[in-house]
């Protein structure tokens, strides 16, 4: 996760209150957002093992949906075929 332009204390409070255990990178100056052409949030990216963006989703993503799971499975299959 990357947080865009919020105070570290706000981010820490949110993560703690929701019981998340993942790391959150802070994009305090918006540079990561500029690099990845973020026009609105939330936005999610799937990045391959070589650091390339292979898929982009704008808005809420139901990561358990059949469509998303199929997309992720296909990308994993392609990665295994190419290694």
Which structural domain, as residue segments, surrounds residue 7?
Answer: 2-81
The domain tally of the chain equals 1
> Any idea what DSSP says for residue 29?
T
CA angle 45, 42, 22 (to 5 degrees): 70
pLDDT in tens, 34-67: 998 898 889 999 888 788 898 899 999 999 999 9
Closest of 37, 11, 30, 32 to residue 22, by C-alpha = 11
CATH number at residue 64: 3.40.30.10
Structure tokens at 13: 């409070």
Please, which residues bridge with residue 4 across strands? 27
Q: What is the number of alpha carbons within 13 Å of residue 79 lying toward its C-beta?
A: 15
Q: Does the reported pTM lie above 0.75?
A: no
Q: Write down the pLDDT at residue 75.
A: 85
Per-chain mean pLDDT for the chain: 90
């Amino acid at each position: 996760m990357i947080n865009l332009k919020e105070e570290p204390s706000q981010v820490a409070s949110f993560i703690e209150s929701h019981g998340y255990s993942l790391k959150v990178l802070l994009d305090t100056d918006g540079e990561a957002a500029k690099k990845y052409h973020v026009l609105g949030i939330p936005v999610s990216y799937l990045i391959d093992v070589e650091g390339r963006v292979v898929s982009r989703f704008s808005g809420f993503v139901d990561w358990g949906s059949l469509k998303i799971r199929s997309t992720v499975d296909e990308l994993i299959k392609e990665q295994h075929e190419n290694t």
